[in-house]
Structure 1
Amino acid sequence: MRSNHILNRVLILVLIMFNAGCDQVTKTIVRERVSYHERIPVIDNHLTLTKVENYGAFLSSGDSLPYAIKFILLSLMPLLVLAYGFYFLMTKTNLDRLFVTGICFIIGGGIGNLYDRIIHGSVTDFLHIDIVIFQTGIFNAADLSIMVGMCLVLIHLYFKKISPQIQSEQ
Structure 2
Amino acid sequence: MIYLGIIAGIFWLDYFIKRYVDKNRELMEETPILKGKVIIRKYYNKGAALNFLAKKPERMRQIQTLLMAAAGGSFFTLLSRRGDKGVKTALAMILGGGASNLYDRVKKGHVVDYFSFKTRSRRLSGIIFNISDFFVFAGALLLVLFGKKEK
TM range (shorter): 0.7 to 0.9
The amino acid across from 2:46 in the alignment is Y
Deviations 1:42-90 (A, max 9, x none): 112211101111111112121123xxxx42x322232232123223222
Identical columns (%):
24
Larger radius of gyration: 1
Gaps of 5+ in 1: 1-9, 162-170
Residues of 1 paired with 2:148 and 2:76: CA distance? 24
Q: Give the aligned partner of residue 131 of structure 2.
A: 141
The amino acid across from 1:81 in the alignment is L
TM-score normalised to the size of structure 2? 0.86
- Confirm whether residue 97 of structure 1 aligns to residue 48 of structure 2: no
After TM superposition, the structure 1 = structure 2 runs for residues 101-112 of structure 1, keeping only pairs within 5 Å, are: 101-112=89-100
Deviations 1:140-169 (A, max 9, x none): 1110110111222233145458xxxxxxxx
The SS at the match of 1:59 is helix
Residues of 2 paired with 1:85 and 1:105: CA distance? 10
- Of 30, 36, 44, which residue of structure 2 is paired with 1:45? 36
Residues of 2 paired with 1:86 and 1:61: CA distance? 23
Residues of 1 paired with 2:147 and 2:69: CA distance? 22
